[in-house]
């Protein structure tokens, strides 16, 4: 039976030359294995440049989604977040091979990756859809930022308390003073939100978690709202407030700025081995008994 995936792209930790050189052996082994399996292989251009690939088709990350049926990402969760955002409009499924620390999104291991990849190419896999957050920042009716996040949107002050006003679907929720606020997807609840006391949400849920960072009012607790909610946050008082997406893009905020967060129209698809279990992953990554 022919595989659904006749063209496969490989992306390493493309913004980090030293990381790519460290994973050179594994990347090369994977690329040649796919080629020997009869699959057309495409290498992301920075990955190809730093690893020294020859004889493979090379493409930019922005164009990979048009050329590949499947994208294999080798790195950590940060690499997967970045690649997922770039390819969000293509709906090309992603597989993650973990070379990072925890690896909540990159669940394959290098020592078993070839066996697992062969199973996936043969159709033995499960597919999972992850929601994204669309965020728009306006200042005096001018749009400053319009982008998406897979994990979270974080509003934070580095050294002083920030005062924020939060509304959900036009209804006033709270006015709070804290170190900041996290708006997390279910994917993002095992990231920064987890360390600030937020809930873990199963990725099949359609919801957004609103998690305060060290609130001055101790009774202010995390709250989870339906994914279709429109969340609006107004910066009331701040000296050095910053906004970031998935911990990778930073923007300076000012008093009066409006941040609008909603479920994005796009989604990303992750492929896992057939025997993948979310609870097994949590237990192993978080050292549960």
CB 199 within 8 A of CB 222: yes
d(CA 210, CA 278): 22
- Nearest CA to 191 out of 280, 288, 285, 92 is that of 285
In DSSP terms, which residues pair with 128 in a beta bridge? 270
| Residue carrying structure tokens 């009869």 | 38
Residue 57: count other Cβ atoms within 10 Å of its Cβ: 14
Helices (H), 122-247: 192-195
Structure tokens at 77: 């969760």
Residue 79 in 3-state DSSP? helix
- Residues contacting residue 143 through CB under 8 Å, at least 6 positions apart: 136, 137
Active site residue 246: no
Q: Which of 16, 69, 77, 280 is catalytic?
A: 77
- Nearest CA to 234 out of 162, 169, 179, 184 is that of 162
d(CA 205, CA 182): 18
Catalytic residue list: 77
């Amino acid at each position: 039976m022919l595989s659904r995936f006749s063209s496969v792209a490989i992306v390493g930790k493309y913004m980090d030359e030293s990381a790519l050189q460290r994973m050179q052996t594994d990347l090369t082994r994977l690329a040649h294995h796919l080629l020997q399996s009869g699959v057309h292989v495409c290498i992301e251009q920075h990955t190809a440049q730093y690893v020294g690939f020859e004889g493979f088709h090379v493409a930019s990350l922005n164009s990979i989604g048009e050329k590949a049926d499947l994208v294999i990402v080798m790195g950590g969760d940060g690499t997967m977040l970045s690649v997922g955002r770039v390819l969000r409009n293509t709906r090309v499924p992603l597989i993650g091979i973990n070379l990072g620390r925890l690896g909540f999104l990159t669940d394959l291991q290098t020592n078993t990756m070839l066996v697992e990849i062969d199973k996936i190419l043969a159709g033995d896999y499960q597919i999972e859809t992850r929601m994204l957050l669309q965020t728009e920042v306006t200042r005096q009716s001018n749009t400053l930022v319009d982008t998406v996040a897979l994990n979270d949107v974080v509003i934070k002050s580095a050294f002083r308390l920030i005062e924020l006003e939060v509304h959900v679907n036009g209804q006033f929720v709270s006015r709070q003073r804290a170190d900041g606020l996290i708006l997390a997807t279910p994917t993002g609840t095992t990231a920064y939100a987890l360390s600030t006391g937020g809930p873990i949400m199963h990725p099949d849920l359609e919801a957004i978690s609103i998690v305060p960072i060290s609130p001055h009012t101790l009774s202010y607790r995390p709250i989870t709202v339906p994914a279709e909610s429109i969340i609006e946050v107004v910066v009331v008082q701040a000296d050095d407030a910053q906004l970031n997406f998935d911990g990778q893009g930073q923007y300076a905020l000012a008093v009066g700025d409006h941040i609008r967060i909603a479920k994005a129209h796009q989604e990303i698809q992750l492929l896992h081995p057939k025997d993948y279990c979310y609870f097994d992953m949590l237990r192993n990554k978080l050292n549960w008994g």
